[in-house]
Amino acid sequence: MIYLIGTSHIAKESLEKVEMNISGRKPDLVAVELDLARLQGLIHKKKGKIQLPLFQKVIVLLLQKMQDTLSKETGILPGQEMLDAVRHAKKADAQVALIDQKINVTISRLMKAMGFREKAKLMAYLVLGFLGLGASKVLPAEKGIDLNKIPEDEFIEYAMGYMESSFPSIYKVLVADRNWYMAHNLMKLSGKFETIVAVVGAGHVQGMKKLLEDEKIEVKVL
């Protein structure tokens, strides 16, 4: 059985959900949405260095800055729930698997997939968001969220749909391709471990669930 836990990387609720399910279920394996570089970055509280051309580096830095700004509102280090999952796995005597694609590969594929217009549009949205001016253009007021909580399924579906229609290349590389990559790793691991708890961003849960179920693998969303 594979149990999928969907999280928000800066929400306090994510930490509580991860601890409760790993400590309570005592899985054989805990799988996390990380690669080795990102895990080491979380452990040492350092951001990995990625070699990119200037324009692309600015996009990555803006994304990191926005995430850091939001995390200050919750007091949670971005990705803390993944690090906690690894620590709780060790306490529960469970093995740990890093199931995500290498971050350098993801960023490289993203920049190759995006055309100039999509990069320019993303840059404009990021600058507006950094200045606190763009949220209303992306998410209507009634769809606002509490940063301390994991977003509701309706909100996640809306956000994923918006990304897919407005930034199709970004959606394919960051969401769809990684859904397949992580689900494929879980498929292989399911043949070796009886009970797996997989901790992934909430935006990946439904896509991964469908991929796993299509392969007749028993999966439950927590």
Helical spans, DSSP H, in the chain: 12-25, 36-44, 54-74, 80-91, 103-113, 116-130, 135-138, 153-166, 168-170, 177-190, 202-214
Q: Check residue 112 and give its pLDDT.
A: 85
Phi/psi of residue 3, nearest 5 degrees: -105, 125
Question: Do 78 and 9 form a contact (C-beta atoms < 8 A)?
Answer: yes
Q: What is the pTM of this model?
A: 0.83
**pLDDT tens string for the chain (222 positions)?**
999 999 987 678 889 999 999 998 899 999 999 999 889 888 887 655 555 555 555 556 656 555 555 545 555 667 889 999 999 999 999 999 999 999 888 888 888 888 878 777 777 766 665 555 444 444 444 445 666 677 778 888 888 888 888 888 888 998 999 999 999 999 999 999 999 999 999 999 999 999 999 999 999 999
Q: In which element (H, E) is residue 198 found?
A: strand 196-201
- Give dist(CA 141, CA 160) in Å, integer: 17
Burial class (CB in 10 A: 0-12, 13-18, 19+), 113: middle
CA separation, residue 101 to residues 98, 187, 198 (Å): 9, 15, 15
- Give dist(CA 10, CA 75) in Å, integer: 8
